[in-house]
A = this chain, B = another copy of it.
Amino acid sequence: MTERMPRPHAAGDGEVPVFLPDGVEAPAGLVEAALGYEAALMADDLESLAEYFAPGPDTLRGDEGGLLVGHDTITRFRGRRGGAPQRRIEALHVRPIDDDHAWLAAVTAPLGGGRGLVGQLWERRDGAWRISAAHVSAPPRAMDPRVWRVVGDPLLGPTGSGPLDGHTIAVKDVIAVEGFALGAGVPAYLAGAAPAPRSAPVLDALRAAGASVRGIAQTDQFAYSIAGRNAAYGTPPNPAVPGAISGGSSSGPASAVAMGHATIGLGTDTAGSIRIPASYQGLWGLRTTHGAISVDGVLPLAPSFDTVGWLTRDGETLAAVTRAAFERMPQQRVDAVRLATAALELPALDAPALVLAPALADSATPEVTRAFAAGLDALRSSGGRVDVLDDDALVAGALDELYEAFRTVQAAEAWAQHGSWITAHPGALGEDIAARFAWAASVTADAEAAARERLAVARTALDAALGDAVLVLPSAASVAPPVDAAGAEIEAIRAATLRITTVAGATGRPALSVPGLMAGGAPIGVCFVGPRGTDLGLVERAQEWATALKHG
């Protein structure tokens, strides 16, 4: 051991061993300040903690969740954290820099086990020691329960070899995994569920193509949200935007892919549940043509709109998954006009016309509108044509009505699906989801019938307007909101976004979210909605569009 002997320093009811270079003394008051900060942290004394950090926009604090810049951002984080885990300092290494600066590295021993590490740059201003940069490592966790319910290395291996060899799947907890109960993000539902006798066919298809199952990933409760905030399991982190929500309802698979825990997120998309987290986290995400991929073994939310889909970090993987899924599982005939019975006969998109409906972006935030306009410019300057589609089916009023009809039918179907279980299990859901289902319960049969009728009419009108074109639109109305956004803010963002995503939901068209744009430092996706059955062609063409967006 080359370690020098520590100099014990009294701290509370114990001693902290302080290590210094030979012949070097700690600057006056520094160790006391560090221990004072530690005491404030253990007491979650927010006022003192804010005081210990240097004021101003240049102060830094980072941990595994990302880097926070600026005193106010750090204070806000601390306010929503709810305290740090209790710990003691096992060793404090002091490295004086000059009279008014020093680096401290503290090895911490949390009471819950493991070892952590805290690095702090201290600065003396006006006689008081302040932290101007901090870097915190908590002990690594066994797993992140916000992202995963179960995880393995692998949880289930591949059943064949093929184009997905070496790939790993995060399976949304509404899709059956052989041998495991399905939880749907609801602990009480999980407690009553038996292990699935077999996996969903879509999962079988990916395993047959060489992919293994990494684990079962979290979802918004019953997949009835696009936020990713699960009252029971927490909000999965969004590594692209520290402190922002993940987006949902395929929140766990999306975060797992963004964090590098898996290469494929297998999810579902009823009203945007793949496109939204893809957009928020800078991922690729495909909502498949309604009815094209079997939903056997998938817990329904609203069968008229429920689809299976996937998220990836890159376009090549997305294309490989899409090909594997369409080639390896029996196709269903839902919309006979466009959907061929075998994947290889799926209509290709040789030279699709890109079209744009200005009203679709109306509810987006100004920063999203600007980023999307820049994206359109990039598509155009790479040689693509994007025509403005001037059609009554896509004006603001029509879109508002479409969204109303969509959400009414979705709610009626969701309640038909889950109402009796929810009624029998009061208190089982988080407040926001419970409120949504309560509203769903209030939809009358007449209202549902009327909405279905309006939806059928709108679908016909939209199909006529869109034809064989590919509609291009922002994937979401905003970038990922902060995790501590108020419920009302999240709800407003939800409504604005669903107004955008409903065109694909209502028409059953495939929708692909492609990353590449940034708005205010956060990613925003560009969504391409193609004719039904063109999933594979859409994905293949999108590689070029992505390149254009990236270099635009």
Contacts and interface: CB of A to CB of B under 8 A. Distances in A.
B107 A66 contact: yes
Contacts of A115: 66, 239-240, 242
Interface string A132-168: 1101010111111101111111010100000000000
A179 B151 contact: no
A85 to B, nearest CB: 9
A323 interface: no
Contact of A95 (B1, B132, B137): B132
Given A137-B63, A151-B152, A121 B95 contact: yes
A114 interface: yes
B259 A140 contact: yes
B521 A1 contact: yes
- What's the interface size class on A, roughly? 35 or more
Interface string A38-67: 000000000000000000011010111011
B150 A153 contact: yes
Given A149-B153, A521-B3, A114 B73 contact: no
A62 B137 contact: yes
Interface stretch (A96-104, A202-210, A334-342, A528-536): A96-104
Interface in A24-42: none
Given A1-B520, A58-B21, A115-B66, A140 B140 contact: yes
A101 B21 CA distance: 17
Contacts of A83: none
Contacts of A63: 117, 137
A384 interface: no
Contact of A142 (B60, B69, B91, B214): B214
A506 to B, nearest CB: 33
Given A97-B97, A98-B97, A261-B142, A135 B117 contact: yes
Contacts of A463: none
Contacts of A214: 142
A426 interface: no
Contacts of A397: none
A135 B119 contact: yes
A133 B103 CA distance: 8
A105 interface: yes
Contacts of A153: 143, 145, 148-150, 233
A4 interface: yes
Contacts of A520: 1
A229 interface: no
B60 A95 contact: yes
A257 interface: yes
A494 B240 CA distance: 47
A133 B119 contact: yes
Contact of A143 (B67, B114, B143, B179): B143
A64 B261 CA distance: 17
Nearest to A190: B157
A192 interface: no
B98 A4 contact: no
A425 to B, nearest CB: 17
A112 interface: yes
Contact of A150 (B64, B98, B150): B150
A260 interface: yes
A149 B215 CA distance: 12
Contact of A4 (B57, B215, B239): B57
Q: What are the 8 closest A-B residue pairs judged by CB atoms, nearest first?
A: A113-B260, A142-B261, A150-B152, A119-B135, A145-B153, A114-B259, A21-B58, A112-B260
28 contacts: A2-B73, A3-B69, A4-B57, A21-B58, A60-B103, A62-B107, A67-B107, A67-B117, A97-B97, A97-B121, A103-B121, A103-B132, A110-B260, A113-B239, A113-B257, A113-B260, A115-B242, A119-B133, A140-B140, A140-B259, A142-B215, A143-B152, A143-B153, A145-B153, A148-B153, A151-B152, A153-B233, A179-B195
Interface of A: 1-4, 19, 21, 57-58, 60, 62-64, 66-67, 69-70, 72-73, 91, 93, 95, 97-98, 101, 103, 105, 107, 110, 112-115, 117, 119, 121, 123, 132-133, 135, 137, 139-145, 147-153, 155, 157, 179, 191, 195, 214-215, 233, 239-240, 242, 256-262, 313, 520-521
Given A62-B107, A119-B133, A139-B259, 13 more contacts: A62-B105, A62-B137, A64-B137, A64-B140, A67-B91, A67-B105, A97-B121, A113-B260, A114-B258, A119-B119, A139-B239, A139-B260, A142-B144
